[in-house]
Structure 1
Amino acid sequence: MRYVITGASRGIGFEFVQQLLRRGETVDAGVRAPEMARRLEPLLHEAGNRLRIHSLEVTSADSVRAFAANVCREPVDVLINNAGVSGQWVGLHELDFEDLERTIAVNALGPLRITSSLLPALRQGIGRKVAHVTSRMGSLSSNTEGGAYAYRMSKAALNMGVRSMANDLRRDGLSCVLLHPGWVQTDMGGQDAPLPADDSVRGMLRVIDGVSMEHSGRFFDYEGAEIPW
């Protein structure tokens, strides 16, 4: 199976690459800047041609076009839209609107750009799955604390986008799901997070492996439990 992963140089994305290569899959990894690919180099030496690393800035139309031109030379079985940023976690009176716009551009618009650009290759794949790493913090009904406007709003927008995407792509036989990875020990999640990245990714891969059309447009956590909108 051939997987495409965005935001692959660190954290959850890096762990996706590691675990997929370990089980024998082929991976195309998108990284924001060439210097960020260094952590992937040892995996490249081990995996050989089963790992390909590409420059990718998900907010840039030109970068996404170049990425798609390279990736779409062969069918893609599974796309994992993982690239994301946290934005500033501040109250209403401290909002930085440029940061808010940037966070929405990465977290909500980026996955739409990538998925749209890779559709020709996804339609040719045998997996026919698109998984989007979102967050429970994008759930409207779960928001009882406020704050974190940029992150919450960007993930809520992503969730709505994927609901529409799932309906649009159903006719192509492509299933689209949203995944909450948990509070994970990464640069974004911090060291106080209770969940190791390998456990989170192992769980999300189990969910992705089991996805069928009946799951399309739904929102799951890394253990497979459905999350309210």
Structure 2
Amino acid sequence: MPTVLITGANRGIGLEFARQYTADGWDVIATARRPDDAGELQQLGPDVLPLDAANPASIGALAKRLAGRPIDVLIANAGVYPQGLDADEWSKAFATNCIGPTLLARALLPNVAASGERKMVATSSRMGSIADNDSGGAIAYRSSKAALNAAWHGLAIEFRGDGVTMAVLHPGWVQTDMGGADASIAPETSVSGLRRVIAGLSLSESGGFFAYDGEELPW
């Protein structure tokens, strides 16, 4: 039975990841900042562990708790969407959207390298693409995701010798609390597509940037 670790699994895309992987018989480890408040996630039955994705100490505590446990697929999904250019919110976005996932990947490298699948992915966004930005706006969010893309591309190079495949993924504009009710696709559609992309990833594609429908995106 393969194991998947999903951060930010208490709602939206993360919750749908947990739902689909659980339904397919995977051993699911899910994280949330406040597991006791993640009622819908708890009902699915996975291990629900505490994690503040922006807190290095919390990341270290999770890694210690999971020491020696192989993780086939790591999905660094937790993220925030800052409003405006408030300096504190912008810094929080970098901590949650870039620094946290990068520290998590490094902390759990032994777990993933010891598994059969050996894959790590992070939820990014097409809005993190510099080449694809024709509309401007959302500078804090865009810059935090562009930083994530750069950091994980660098990790992919470092981790190649461990046989670990890494990618950053665009889930589409999804009908979640973050995406809003007017978004174009349902979480089920997004996550089904993302899972197909993850399943098909090979080491030769490590460091890539892909959409939920398999399209390779520009940096």
Deviations 1:123-172 (A, max 9, x none): 11111000111000000011111111111000000000011011000011
Q: 2: distance between equivalents of 1:40 and 1:3?
A: 15
- After superposition, the C-alpha distances for 1:5-26 in whole angstroms (9 at most, x for unaligned) are 0000000000000000001101
> Residues 35-50 of structure 1: matches in 2 within 5 Å?
35-44=36-45
Q: 2:17 is matched with which residue?
A: 16
Determine whether 1:211 maps to 2:201.
yes
1:7 aligns with 2:2: no
SS of match in other structure, 1:131: strand
More helix by share: 1
Q: In structure 2, the residue corresponding to 1:54 is in which secondary structure?
A: strand
Where in structure 1 do 4 or more consecutive aligned residues deviate above 6 Å?
none
Question: Which residue is equivalent to 2:215?
Answer: 225
* Matched-pair contact (CA < 8 Å) for 1:100–1:149: no
Paired with 1:214 and 1:120, the residues of 2 have a C-alpha distance of 20
Output the CA distance in 2 between the equivalents of 1:210 and 1:100.
Answer: 34
Q: CA separation in 2, counterparts of 1:130 and 1:41?
A: 24
Show the counterpart of 1:133: 123
Residue deviations 1:32-88, cap 9 Å, x none? 1133321212211xxxxxx21100001112211111122233111110010000111
**For residues 76-103 of structure 1, what are the alpha-carbon distances to aligned partners after superposition, in whole Å with 9 as ceiling and x for unaligned?**
1110010000111x3xxxx211110000
Distance 1:186 1:75 in 2: 30
SS of residue paired to 1:150: helix
- State the alpha-carbon separation in 2 of the partners of residues 85 and 61 from structure 1: 17
RMSD between aligned residues: 0.9
Number of residue equivalences: 218
Q: Percent identity between the aligned chains?
A: 44
User: Aligned equivalents of 2:159 and 2:37: distance in 1?
Assistant: 33
TM-score (norm 2): 0.97
Matched, 1:69 2:59: no
- Under a length normalisation based on structure 1, what TM-score does the superposition of the two structures give? 0.93
Give 2:105's aligned residue: 115
Matches within 5 A, 1:60-99: 60-88=55-83, 90=84, 95-99=85-89
Q: Could you tell me whether the CA contact under 8 Å between 1:13 and 1:83 is conserved in 2?
A: yes
**5+ residue gaps, structure 2:** none
1:142 aligned counterpart, secondary structure: coil
Q: Any conservation in 2 of the 1:28–1:71 contact (CA below 8 Å)? A: no
Q: 1: CA distance between counterparts of 2:211 and 2:42?
A: 30
Tell me the amino acid that sits aligned with residue 225 of structure 1.
E
Q: Give the Cα separation in 1 of the matches to 2:67 and 2:182.
A: 39
1:152 corresponds to 2:147: no
Residue equivalent to 2:190: 200
Is 1:58–1:113's contact at 8 Å kept on the other side of the alignment? no
